[in-house]
Amino acid sequence: MPAEIAFLSVEQVALIHDEMLRRYSGSVLPGHRGQEEGVTAAALAVENSYYEDRFELAAAYAVYIVMGHVFGDGNKRGGSGAALTFLAVNGIHLRARPQDLRDAMLEVQRRAEAEPRPDTSELIAWMARWLRARKEGPPRQRGPHQASA
């Protein structure tokens, strides 16, 4: 039986966004739906989705926040922070440089704004693949032919 999935609460998603703005600057402005409604919609969309894979669920946080323009500023930062936090609380850690994560979030936004507009599930699948490729694994074993450092 798979381990229980720990979802982020609406309050946690808002706090992650606020912390990202505090660290990296930005304006605390509500998105077009209002921050509370937008964050609630994004968080519930993830929790009520048909995704079961933790990478897809993490990607869904990022994509729903970016596509929903949940916040007036910092959607990509808030979305990436929510995705990484979700993975971390579920025991998954990534090895990704901040600039690579930034570039991935810019790509999500670029794809989301492309014409014709892509299906949300396509964006989530793309982001999930990106996240999965950066999963930290166990330390690699040295073979007998490799010298130690």
Name the nearest CA neighbour of 79 among 61, 57, 94.
Answer: 61
Q: What is the pLDDT of residue 109?
A: 93
Residue at 141 is within a domain = no
Q: What percent of the chain has pLDDT over 70?
A: 83
The DSSP code for 26 is -
3 domain residue, yes or no: no
In a domain, 140, yes or no: no
Give me the pLDDT at residue 74, please.
Answer: 86
- The answer, yes or no, to whether residue 147 has pLDDT greater than 50, is no
Q: How many domains, the chain?
A: 1
- Residues in Cβ contact with 91 at an 8 Å cutoff, skipping those fewer than 6 apart: 3
Helix H segments across 68-119? 75-89, 98-112
Inside any domain, residue 1: no
pTM of the model: 0.84
51 lies in some domain: yes
**Domain contains 25:** yes
Would residue 139 count as lying in a domain? no
Domain residues for 84? 10-132
Q: How many C-beta atoms surround the C-beta of residue 14 within 10 A? A: 21
Instruction: Provide the sign of the torsion angle of the four alpha carbons 100, 102, 108, 110, taken in this order.
Output: negative
Grouping H, G, I as helix, E, B as strand and the rest as coil, residue 129 is helix
Neighbouring C-beta atoms of residue 135, cutoff 10 Å: 14
Closest listed residue to residue 5, CA positions, set 105, 77, 90, 79 = 90
pLDDT in tens, 91-138: 999 998 999 999 999 999 999 999 988 899 999 999 999 999 999 876
CATH of the domain at 120: 1.20.120.1870
* Residue 24 pLDDT: 80
Sign of the Cα pseudo-torsion (6, 9, 30, 38, in order): positive
The pLDDT of residue 148: 42
